[in-house]
Amino acid sequence: MYQTLRPRGDSPVTIIGAGITGAWHALLLAEAGRAVTLHERSDAAMTESTSHWAGGMLAPWCEEEAAEPVITRLGIRSLALWRQHLPETPFNGSLVVAHPRDRADFERFARLTSGHRRLDAEGVRALEPALEGRFGAGLFYPEEGHVEPRRVLPRLHAAIAKAGGAIKFGSDAEA
């Protein structure tokens, strides 16, 4: 029997989970004009969701030390996407420090990564006053940062709604 199917571009999209990953996908699809519904088992506070409790490091240059080059490229692209879609999200950089006994590992890390600025003890203290007197050197990666999910998810959800997407909190929809 022959069925007529709608073209994929017209099909509505259902996403399960309104955390960082699900919300990003919903936002991009909604901005592209797709009919998107995002289902979340938790309430709008997202207290039952992993994204409520997890942090979001975006540290592609630090990851150069051990990751494949594609990880760095994707991380840099992720930072650009955050800045494009939620430009008010703060990115304050990453600071790497090591105790003197770990100096060889620190130097190895510095050689295997890029995008950093070397700091002396005063530079470390200026960035993190609580570390005063504890570390004589640091590496500062100014373009990196941490996304605090509890702060950005409400803005991300609002952007989805503004783009025409729907979010159903307290939903028991399953994949």
**Mean pLDDT of all residues belonging to the chain:** 90
pTM score, two decimals? 0.77
Q: What are the structural domains, with CATH classification, of the chain?
A: 1-55+149-175 (3.50.50.60), 57-147 (no CATH)
Q: At what angle do helices 149-162 and 20-31 cross, to 10 degrees?
A: 20
Check whether 71 has a pLDDT greater than 90: yes
Check whether 3 has a pLDDT greater than 80: no
37 contacts 30 by C-beta, under 8 angstroms: no
Which one-letter DSSP state was computed for residue 130? G
